[in-house]
C-alpha cells in the first residue's frame, strides 16, 4: 500500500511558488533579466573586471545553456547554479593538479580561506600530492 499525503493542500506553498514564477516571467518579458536557461559565468582572462586581493583582474563571460527543468529539479536559481558550477569546476581542476589553490579559489570566485572551507564542506583533499614528485623529492634527501 502506498502512503498518500492528502491532509494538506499545500496552497500557501503553491501560491508562493506561482507568485515567484510570475515575478520571474515579468522580469524576463520586461528585459530586466535573462531567461533561466542562459547563465552567464565569468572566468579569468577577458572583459569584466574583478577584484582579488587588491588587484584588478579582467574576466571573460562564458554562457552555458541548460534545460529549464534542471533548476527546479535541483531547487536552485540560475545564479545559485552558476555559483555551484564554478566551485565544482574549481575543485575538480584543483584535485587534478591543473590549478593551484589560489587559482582555483579565483575560478570559484572565493577567497583562499573560503575555498579551503568549500574543500572541507565537500570532503575534498585540501592538499593535492603528486606521489611521483614526492618520491623524487624524498630521493634527493
Count of CB atoms within 10 A of residue 18's CB? 10
Residue 2's pLDDT is what? 47
List alpha helices for 1-127, DSSP H: 11-30, 69-74, 78-95, 101-108, 112-121
What is this structure's pTM?
A: 0.54
Instruction: Tell me, yes or no, whether 4 lies in a domain.
Output: no
Residue 57, domain member (yes or no): yes
Q: What is the DSSP letter of 39?
A: E
What SS3 string covers 80-99?
HHHHHHHHHHHHHHHHCCCC
Assigned domain for 52 exists: yes
Q: What is the pLDDT of residue 47?
A: 42
Number of structural domains (the chain) is 1
Grid coordinates belonging to 123? 570532503
Q: Is residue 100 part of a domain?
A: yes
Answer whether residue 63 is part of any domain: yes
Report yes or no on 6 lying in a domain.
no
pLDDT reported for residue 56: 56
* Per-residue pLDDT in tens (0 to 9) along the chain, 141 residues: 444 445 556 667 677 777 777 777 777 777 776 555 544 554 444 444 444 455 556 778 888 888 888 888 888 888 888 899 999 999 999 998 888 889 999 999 999 899 999 999 988 888 777 677 777 778 886
User: Domain range for residue 134?
Assistant: 11-139
Amino acid at each position: 500500500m502506498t502512503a498518500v499525503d492528502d491532509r494538506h493542500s499545500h496552497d500557501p506553498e503553491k501560491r508562493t511558488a506561482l507568485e515567484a514564477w510570475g515575478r520571474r516571467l515579468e522580469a524576463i518579458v520586461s528585459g530586466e533579466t535573462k531567461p533561466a536557461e542562459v547563465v552567464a559565468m565569468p572566468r579569468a582572462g577577458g572583459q569584466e573586471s574583478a577584484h582579488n586581493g587588491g588587484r584588478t583582474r579582467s574576466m571573460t563571460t562564458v554562457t552555458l545553456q541548460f534545460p529549464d527543468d534542471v533548476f527546479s529539479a535541483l531547487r536552485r536559481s540560475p545564479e545559485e547554479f552558476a555559483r555551484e558550477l564554478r566551485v565544482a569546476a574549481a575543485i575538480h581542476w584543483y584535485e587534478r593538479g591543473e590549478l593551484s589553490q589560489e587559482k582555483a579559489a579565483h575560478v570559484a570566485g572565493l577567497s583562499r580561506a573560503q575555498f579551503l572551507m568549500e574543500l572541507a564542506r565537500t570532503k575534498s583533499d585540501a592538499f593535492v600530492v603528486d606521489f611521483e614528485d614526492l618520491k623524487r623529492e624524498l630521493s634527493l634527501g
